A and B are shown apart, each in its own frame.
Chain A
Amino acid sequence: GAVVSQHPSRVICKSGTSVKIECRSLDFQATTMFWYRQFPKQSLMLMATSNEGSKATYEQGVEKDKFLINHASLTLSTLTVTSAHPEDSSFYICSANRYNEQFFGPGTRLTVL
């Protein structure tokens, strides 16, 4: 099946710093990718839809200036958590659709101290 990679898998940072997470579709092109956040023992919450070559579409309540999304190519989307705070600590997962299936990356666990 299609493969979606994410980097890094884990990151620990100090409060106030920015963290960039990469999401790549390895063997297919994805004009649209999705970014989710998952808190422990909770469901996946869609944060934004990343569109190649255009602005991302953010869900209600998600600050676009805090969670910067760039989809510069058909195989790469990046999520930058700016000025991270402890409450941003979470599991961030991206996904990309191919045909009728949604393929998820392995996720990035962000811990903000």
Chain B
Amino acid sequence: GQQVMQIPQYQHVQEGEDFTTYCNSSTTLSNIQWYKQRPGGHPVFLIQLVKSGEVKKQKRLTFQFGEAKKNSSLHITATQTTDVGTYFCAGLDTNAGKSTFGDGTTLTVKP
């Protein structure tokens, strides 16, 4: 079945440093979504990417969808303590008709 892998599992950065998490799918995706889950909270939708090679920005966050629609990345510029949490990608495989979540990358930011 579809597998979605996410790396790294954990990332510790100093406030102000950049952060990137990568998501790779074993199958071609129709779209990919990114979520943020704060400790003790529930996942919150960040963005959806649909087109091959698509790049979207939300303030300090940059999201990319690979040309082959099998990988994606989330980059945060100049991290802040409010960025802490676990970032999940979820890829929609239309053949399977469902989304599969990656294992998540947990970001901690040292002030």
Q: What is A's interface to B at a CB cutoff of 8 Å?
A: 41-46, 49, 60, 93, 100-107
Contacts and interface: CB of A to CB of B under 8 A. Distances in A.
B43 A44 contact: yes
Given A44-B101, A46-B99, A101 B43 contact: no
B43 A93 contact: yes
Contacts of B102: 43
B104 interface: yes
Interface in B1-57: 1, 31, 33, 35, 41-45, 48
A101 B98 contact: no
Contact of A93 (B42, B104, B106): B42
A63 B98 CA distance: 19
Contacts of B90: 102
Contact of B48 (A41, A46, A100): A100
A9 to B, nearest CB: 10
Interface of B: 1, 31, 33, 35, 41-45, 48, 88, 90, 98-104, 106
Contacts of A100: 31, 48
Contacts of B41: 106
A46 B44 contact: no
Provide the main secondary structure of the chain B interface. strand
B103 A43 contact: yes
A42 B90 CA distance: 14
A85 to B, nearest CB: 24
A107 B31 CA distance: 25
Given A43-B88, A44-B88, A104 B43 contact: yes
Q: What 10 pairs across the A-B complex have the smallest Cβ distances? A: A44-B101, A43-B103, A43-B101, A104-B42, A107-B42, A104-B43, A106-B42, A101-B45, A43-B104, A100-B48
Nearest to B31: A100
A49 B103 CA distance: 20
Most B Cβ at <10 Å: residue of A42, A60, A102, A106:
A102
Given A43-B103, A46-B98, A102 B45 contact: yes
